[in-house]
Amino acid sequence: MTSSPKTPRGNGKRARTDTPGPVGPGNPPLHTRFVPGVSGNPKGRPRKERSLIKLIEAELDAEIQITENGTAQRLSKREALAKRLVNNALKGDAKDVTALIRLIGSGSESQASGMDTVDPATVLAYLQRATAQGGGQ
């Protein structure tokens, strides 16, 4: 077995030769290959598209500061929305009462978390008693 003469290894880059090679598909001319400072992907990776549901969820999870009874509290917008819905239902707003009963009656979240569901008629009776006693704030 004959040993081949050792050639010095470079830094892994191919040496450019001034002799042009074949030019065609997949083999551009040497002077246009890998121009310094120019990206191979000029537009970059496209941004991830977010669905409307994801955008609404993110907005509902954002925190806001509310003042209740002279005290400042930080709540998520989701919690503030629930608080307003219940308070307006207690004041006697028919649309909010209906919405609250519908939400409580669906019970999808409460059943998934293992909580007991509340009968919508019980909630309606409670709201009627609370508004008759002046329980609205």
Domain annotation covers residue 122: yes
> Secondary structure of the chain: what % helix, strand, coil (to 5)?
45, 10, 45
Query: How far apart (Å, rounded) are the C-alpha atoms in residues 126 and 136?
Result: 12
Kindly list the distances between the CA atom of residue 104 and the CA atoms of 1, 56, 90, 114, in Å, as whole numbers in the listed order: 86, 21, 15, 14
Domain annotation covers residue 33: no
Domain annotation covers residue 113: yes
Could you tell me the two tokens for 135? 């329980």
Query: How far apart (Å, rounded) are the C-alpha atoms in residues 13 and 19?
Result: 17
In the chain, the number of structural domains is: 1
User: What pTM was computed for the model?
Assistant: 0.46
Give me the domain span that covers residue 120. 52-132
Report the chain (137 residues): mean pLDDT per 10 consecutive residues: 56 58 84 82 86 92 92 93 92 89 73 63 81 64
Model confidence pLDDT, tens digit, residues 44-54: 888 888 899 99
Query: Would you say 131 and 91 are in contact if contact means Cβ atoms under 8 Å apart?
Result: yes
Domain annotation covers residue 43: no
User: How high is the mean pLDDT of the chain?
Assistant: 79
